[in-house]
Each structure stands twice: as structure tokens, then as C-alpha cells.
A and B are shown apart, each in its own frame.
Chain A
Amino acid sequence: MFKRMQSPVAPEQDGFELCVDGTPITAQNGETVALAMLNAGIVPFRHTAVSGQARAPLCLMGVCFDCMVEIDGRLVQSCMVDARPGMRVTLLTGARDIGAAE
């Protein structure tokens, strides 16, 4: 849904990898997880717990919670977390099943 700007002076850096639902994506230094996911073309970010609607970020500044994902086991706003090599991101798919394992 997003793309990185072509810079006439600074060639694109190599970046690093993180994993979204088991699939590696490339992020650049300084990108938040949300921006790395947008640049990787991940749509949607989640399905709502209420009706299963598809959602992606609205605000990118920590207000809307539509970029919510699970990172290394924690629910977070992905726009408020810097991407790091090796992060494991899990997308949310509707309401949690309370009776499920864990």
C-alpha cells in the first residue's frame, strides 16, 4: 500500500528481515513495524474482534489502534514500535477463542 521514496542521493540500504505470520519481509532502519508492513504490501493488518472486518492503519501516530498486531507474544500498536531484525509479528484474526490452548 506504501512504497519507499526513490532518493537521488542515498541509494536504498539493504535493510533487515522480520517475520509476519511466518513470511519474511524487509524493513529499513528507523521504520516502525507498521510502516515496514505497509511498504511490504501487507493488507489487511487485522480482522476485527466484533465482526471480522478487515482493517489497516488509519493514523500511524498511536491513536486509532487499527494497526494492532501481536509482536513476540504481546499485543501492540505496530506504529509505535520500531522494527527490529528477527521480530516475529502475528496478525490478529477476529475474536480470541477463550477456550483455545495456552
Chain B
Amino acid sequence: MTTRECDLLVIGGGPAGMAAANAGAALGLKTLLMDEQMQAGGQIYRNINGVSGHLGALLGPDYLHGRELAARLRGSAVETHFGTLVWEVTADREVSAQKNGQSFRLRAKQIIAASGAMERASPVPGWTLPGVMNAGAAQIALKSGASLPAGRVVLAGGGPLLFLVACQLMDAGAEITAIVETSPAANLLRALPHLPTALTAPAYLIKGLSMMRKIRVAGIPWFRQASALSIDGRQQVEAVRFHSRGQDQRIAADVVLLHHGIIPNTQIGRMLRIEHAWNQGQLCWHPILDSWGETSSPGIRIAGDGGGIAGALAAEASGMIAAYGAAYTLGKITEPERDRGTAMMRRLLDRHRRIRPFLDALYQPPEWLLQPSDDVVVCRCEEVTAGRIRKMASQGCTGPNQTKFFSRCGMGPCQGRICGLPVTQILARELRRDPGEVGAYRIRPPLKPIPIGSLAALDSTTTTGDDYGN
């Protein structure tokens, strides 16, 4: 029996994935889209097909922009598989995925991975307490279930999403008792040289200023340049502590929302052993891509924030560009057609990227967050502290993969998603080397734990894929 084939497999149903799949199908490619979530939208357009009018209006036009993409996907020839976890992708583009508890395989001539972004870890004392969440998690609760944190909410960290979540929660009726900004004063000086470029695409700046104005007008206590952030509590959050305005502060809280920017989700690319580079501006890894989104592994492309953080509109443009690249490689379009068809998207991409150097510098996380004190748990799954990681470095551990042998750091169920970046950064500091040299965790399939029973249908004689999706 043969393994099922398609021209283009798109992994991820956010803005980049939807745009890539829509474009791929429109260019005549037999296109499949898979996403682990039950609906299209990714995180940025989460629940875009089901959101109520009232909540949609509250979330605003940037969110509702996703409706058009989702509607086009529904009306397209794309075969969509939601609730489907892609757990292995090989260099010859054989893909293993699980749906309804059963695994199946297929082969794709071209793959576009659009697995998006996730929030940078904020390892501070007390961040493992129940009641401490990422700010993005509160936004997901709002989008997906019209729910908001109960009681006194404190937001701490830095970046546009921190302010956006604060404004949306305020509109939804949450009780925000403080905003604690951790960006150091020096960031402003570092950001200023990038301001002229940012001003050439001013829409983002105007939105940012209007969010800040809204928070000021609401009279929410707003602490800046905070340091020594920690969270108090026995069984769950009780208060936030930090240093700001020249003194130690303690603010009682029921829910603490942390945010220190977003970073590409690189798990699929790491599993494929494609080349990555350390981005010193964004302090994270990004895959090395050509101008059509192609990685160092032929036929495998990455689009959207998974290829480098630039936001939802840039993701949409990069998804389309990657699909045109795939269609050209498969001979569906000529070179002039490819170039003509993507000219406008390239201009959009360029415009949406202009704000980034300014934002990256302005909201660069503080040094004390990147180098947590010895007692802070860094690997949440295996409960490995920063002190233990430093000790491993002094004992001769040269990179993140050796910390696994020494301590199981990064070997819990999240497979190093949360602690990967901090472990690389702590080791780099201890070893006095560049994070790019220290490297990252090696990622192996399955990308997420799957039950043994899921593999039952996978032996070579029964791998047809014909009956998946039922």
C-alpha cells in the first residue's frame, strides 16, 4: 500500500498558515492544513470563527482582520485537519501526525511550517505558583471562552502584548491593580536610533501610544524600570514584590500575568536539524531562511513568527510568499508569475518589519531576568534551578544537551520548550561564550508525548492514510 501524498502540507492554522494554504490552493496545489487546535486562527485569531459580536468588538479590528483569512480558508479547496498533532517531520518530507488518538503518515512534496510564536519564559522567584500565568494565556481565555482572571490582577514585564492584554482585560471588566514594567532605563537610549525607521511605518507606534494613554487615563498604578521581581505565595499567588521608584514594593494579587516578549517556536525546525542562528537583537533563535521561506532542508519552508518575530500581518505576507515559492518549485507557476504575484506582499513585509528593531531594543528583557538567581527554578518540568545549571557548567557541561544527562533539565513533558532559551543563556554566561556557540536542545520525535496505542495503525503494511480524518 502506498502512503498518501499531497503537493503542499501546511502545519499551523494561524495567519501564516491560513495565508499559505489559501495561496497554495489558489495556485493549484493539492493542499492540506493541519493544526493541533480544534479551529483555525492560531493564537492571534483564536476562536475567530466562533467569537460573539460583543467580544469581537472588544478585541478590536486587528483581531477581526482574521475573519477574512478564515472565511477564505473555509471557501477554499484546502483540506483542513484540526485537532491534529504533527509529531514527526523527516527531511524527505514524510510526516507523522495524530488525530482522534490514532497516528497516520503522509508524504508532502513541499511543507510550510507555520508553528508561530510563544512567550519567552519569565523565570523569577515564585513563577511556578498557581495563579502566575503568561499574559498571553489571559488573552487566550478571553478570546476562546470570554473569560477573564478573577480578583486582583497584576501585569508584569514588558512589550506591546503586555499593554494590549491590559487594555483588553480592562475593557472586559477585570480588576487590574498594577502594571509593573521591567524594561531598564537604558533600553530607551538603545531604541532611539531605530526610531526614524519605525516612524516610516507609524501605525504601530500610534497604537502603542493610544494603549498607554488608555492605561494612564484609567489611573492604574504603573511602575517603571522595576527590578528584583518576585512572586509571593504558599499554595498560590498572594503578592508581587519588586523594586521601583527607589523603594521595595509589595502589591497583593490573585493573578499575576507575566510577559517578556514572544519568541519563535522552533521545535519542528530543531527536530529537522535545520540551520538556526542566534538573533542578538531579539535574544532568541531563528531558522535561517531564503527569500522564499525555504530552510536548509530542501522543500521545507517556515513562514510567520516561527521564522522570526514580526507580527500577524507580516506572517500573512510571509505565508503567501512561501506558498508562491512552493508552487514555483513544483512547476505550477513560472518565475515571472512568482515574482509578480509576491511583489506587493514583499512591500508589506518590509513595512511591517520596520518597527521591530525599535521594539526589540525598547523591550529587551532585563539582565536579571535572563540570568535568574541561583534559587529560581528554570526547568519547570524537572524542577532544575539556575544554580544547578551554573554548577553543571562549572563541572564541565558545555551545552544544553549535556545538562540533560546531568540533571534531566529539559527532559520533562514540555521537552524544553519553556527552559530551552534560559538554559542556553545561563550556560553562555557561565562559559563566557556566545549563545550561538553554546547551542540549543536537540529535539527528537515525537514532538509531543503520544500514547503507544496511537502508533498501532502505523506499521508499514497498513500506512495508507486513507481513513484518517474520520
Contacts and interface: CB of A to CB of B under 8 A. Distances in A.
Given A5-B172, A60-B141, A10 B52 contact: yes
Contacts of A60: 133-134, 136-137, 140-141
A59 B118 contact: yes
A25 to B, nearest CB: 13
Contact-residue size bin, chain A (C-beta under 8 Å from the other chain):
35 or more
B130 A44 contact: yes
A62 B37 CA distance: 9
Contacts of A32: 144-145
A64 B235 contact: no
Contact of B147 (A4, A50, A75): A4
A9 B58 CA distance: 13
A64 B418 contact: yes
Contacts of B381: 65
A48 to B, nearest CB: 7
Interface string B259-284: 00000010000000000000000000
Contact of B145 (A10, A30, A43, A45): A30
A8 B145 CA distance: 16
Contacts, number: 131
A64 B119 CA distance: 10
Given A53-B128, A63-B414, A4 B145 contact: yes
Contact of B236 (A31, A56, A58, A59): A56
Contacts of A51: 383
Contact of A30 (B118, B137, B144, B235): B144
B47 interface: yes
Interface residues of B, number: 52
Interface in B432-470: 448-449, 451
A18 interface: no
A39 B145 contact: yes
A19 interface: no
B149 A1 contact: yes
A20 interface: no
A44 B414 contact: no
A23 interface: no
Given A7-B52, A54-B236, A80 B147 contact: no
Contacts of A55: 128, 130, 380
A57 B118 CA distance: 14
Interface in A1-54: 1-10, 28, 30-32, 35, 38-39, 43-45, 48, 50-51, 53-54
B235 A9 contact: no
Contacts of B173: 5-6
Select the residue from A2, A38, A68 with max chain B CB neighbours within 10 A: A2
Instruction: Please provide the 7 A-B residue pairs with the shortest distance between their CB atoms, ordered closest to farther.
Output: A56-B130, A60-B137, A65-B413, A3-B150, A31-B145, A35-B145, A5-B146
Interface of A: 1-10, 28, 30-32, 35, 38-39, 43-45, 48, 50-51, 53-66, 68, 74-75, 80, 82
27 contacts: A1-B131, A1-B150, A1-B236, A2-B149, A7-B52, A7-B146, A28-B145, A30-B50, A32-B144, A35-B145, A43-B131, A55-B128, A55-B130, A56-B131, A57-B133, A58-B133, A59-B119, A59-B134, A59-B137, A60-B133, A60-B141, A61-B136, A63-B417, A65-B413, A75-B451, A80-B37, A82-B38
Interface of B: 36-38, 43, 47, 50, 52-55, 101, 118-119, 128-134, 136-137, 140-142, 144-151, 172-173, 235-236, 254-255, 265, 380-383, 412-414, 417-418, 448-449, 451
